Structure 1
Amino acid sequence: MNYKFFLGIGVAVAIVFAGVAVYTGFTKHVPAANTPERDTLYQVSTIDALMQGVYNGDVTVGELKKHGDFGIGTFDKLDGEMIVLDGQVWQAKSDGTVSSAMDNQTTPFATVTYFSTDIRQNTTDRAMNYSEFSTVMAAQLPSQNMIYAVKIHNTFPSVTVRAIPAQEQPYPNLTVASKEQQVYTFTNITGTVVGFYTPTFLKDLDTQGYHLHFLADDHKRGGHILDMTVPADSTVQYDVTPYFTMALPTSGAFAGTNLTADMSAALAAVEQ
């Protein structure tokens, strides 16, 4: 498999996993480079920059929607959690409300793609919490070296989510900001788990392993998943996403932020 790196004029980096990706049980045919970005993960900034307090929005929601109909992220000043589902962008705020995001809102960090199911996998014959789900389902992936968009729709016995309120400058790092998070637990709630599985070798760019958000079917509850009970024999849909494009901020604190430090331990603590 070939890797190609492209650096735009100060605005974007693209990594292309080119060719045909072959896995147990199926073959993923990567589209030609000049086709629409149906199999591309489009990401705004890096998770390490967000960890260090780069919270000013750099890309509009309207622009983000041009690159995908499915994904997750946050908003300017770290104001709540983003859920992108079926082309609609939702904002789950720390006060527990969920509302439709406006196109002129901005994001400092987000990941989106056009979702199309490549794999369907059933969970085990018993219910699992988030930790069990992450371990068991990752072991069943055809390859742990690929990016997957992840979707689960079901009625969940329990989902615990968080959202962080908008921060004020000078921005604290995410470890400090997360101490202000508001946590909500929903029981017997029907909705959709939205997110990604990202391989370890991209850990400086995005959360490694599963990074999942939740949106209820009534669009009134949601957020970043801290824990959940996944019912037995749930169907997990995966979209293998072999193309990766990153838009780097061209203004604000990003250019002067030291991104050489290993933030993986701090990120793991924030994600729990």
Structure 2
Amino acid sequence: MSKRVRLIAKILLGIALYMLAVLASAAVVRAGEADPGRDTLWQVSTIDALLAGVYQGAVPMAELLRHGDLGLGTFDALDGEMVVLDGAVWRVRADGKATPVPADETTPFAQVTPFEADFSVTLEGVGSLAELAARLTAALPSPNMFYAVRAQGAFELVRTRSVPRQAEPYPPLKAVAASQPEFTLPATSGDIVGFYGPPFAKAAGVPGFHLHYLNAARDAGGHMLDVRFAGPVTFELDTTTALTLALPATPAFAAVDLAPDREAELKRVEQ
């Protein structure tokens, strides 16, 4: 082999080794990176639009579940409270009964995420929803992130509410909530699911903890209004660093006035 050929061979070998090193390095980086879709809160519409009476369904359940397996929300015409758990969707109607939801049902407002717990907190002796929220907030690494929440346990009492299906012209949510059906579930076991929103989440979502409940029999639940623990309960939390808003392409959303500050309305509705 001539000197020239040997030189060319060395150059080609060096290039090949360099490319292999680059590819290997890139593979390591990709393997170590978090999938951004796995830490995203995917939300349909905004809470202010829901408060203003935008109840027309915009996204079907089949599409919603492409973006997460845990979450909450409501349905077309405000027809009940939504619980998304383990990739299945449940509706708690105005009579307090929970039923599975078909894939073609639509939602005007919902939040979901692919739930993967990052840390857990075990609490006991909790005597109210306000106490639960305060103790969970104190356990958060930072109040400035979103967190998905799931807990399974036994409860001395869970108090919930739902909302009845509405007819057009839709009233604002505060008018619906003024006569909302409420339910008391004594000595119940089941799952709490929901989200913590940071203080800056207002207008888009719910600041603080927004929690829904589904009992172990999967036949009752709703939006949580109060809770008392029967023993220790472990809460799993998933730090969620991204928010994707899917805004409804509907005439109602396009026309609604979202300029007013509805923070006071939200507090009344959530209580």
> What TM-score do you get using the length of structure 2 for normalisation?
0.86
Encode CA deviations 1:203-236: one digit per residue, 9 max, x unaligned. Answer: 1111110000000111111100011113453211
Distance in 2 separating the partners of 1:209 and 1:81? 19
1:131 alignment partner in structure 2 = 130
The answer to whether the Cα contact below 8 Å between 2:57 and 2:77 also exists between their aligned partners in 1 is yes
Q: Do residues 233 (structure 1) and 238 (structure 2) align?
A: no
Q: Does 1:195 align with 2:194?
A: yes
CA distance in 2, matches of 1:32, 1:225: 31
C-alpha displacement of 1:137: 1.6
Aligned-partner Cα distance in 2 for 1:231–1:240: 27
Superposed CA offset, 1:165-204 (max 9, x none): 0011110000001123111100111100000000010111
Q: 1:194 to 1:30 in 2, by over 3 A?
A: farther
After TM superposition, the structure 1 stretch with the greater mean CA deviation from structure 2, 41-50 or 254-263, is 254-263
Q: Which amino acid aligns with 1:271?
A: E
Contact 2:118 2:238 survives alignment (8 Å): yes
The aligned amino acid for 2:179 is E
Q: Which amino acid aligns with 1:169?
A: E
- Tell me which residue corresponds to 1:269: 268
Deviation at 1:258, TM superposition (A): 1.3
User: Where does residue 62 of structure 1 map in the other structure?
Assistant: 62
Q: Percent identity?
A: 44
Distance 2:178 2:115 in 1: 33
For 1:180, what is the secondary structure of its paired residue?
A: coil
How far is 1:252 from its partner? 2.7
Letter paired with 1:206 = G
Q: 2: distance between equivalents of 1:234 and 1:104?
A: 35
Q: Is the 8 A contact 1:165 1:180 kept in 2?
A: no
What amino acid maps onto 2:81 in structure 1?
E
| The structure with more helix, counted as a fraction of residues | 2
Please say if residues 43 and 112 of structure 1, whose CA atoms lie closer than 8 Å, have aligned partners that are also in contact.
yes
Matches within 5 A, 1:1-272: 31-33=34-36, 37-123=37-123, 125-272=124-271
CA contact (8 A) 2:92 2:98 kept: yes
Contact 1:56 1:252 in 2 (8 A): no
Structure 2, gaps ≥5 residues long: 1-31
Describe the superposition over 1:24-73 as per-residue Cα deviations: whole angstroms up to 9, x where unpaired: xxxxx86255xxx1111100000000000000000001110111000000
Conserved? CA contact 1:30–1:242, under 8 Å: no
CA distance in 1 between counterparts of 2:193 and 2:88 reads: 12
CA distance in 1 between partners of 2:231 and 2:259 (Å)? 42
Cα distance between partner residues in 2 of 1:197 and 1:96: 24
- The whole-number CA distance in structure 2 between the counterparts of 1:94 and 1:107 is 16
Compared with structure 1, are the counterparts of its residues 181 and 153 closer, same or farther at alpha carbon in structure 2 (3 Å cutoff)? Answer: same
TM, length-normalised to structure 1:
0.85
Q: Cα RMSD between the aligned structures? A: 1.3
Q: Of Structure 1 and Structure 2, which has the larger fraction of its residues in strand?
A: 1
Provide the secondary structure at the position in 1 that maps to 2:171.
coil
Q: Distance in 2 between matches of 1:113 and 1:32?
A: 13
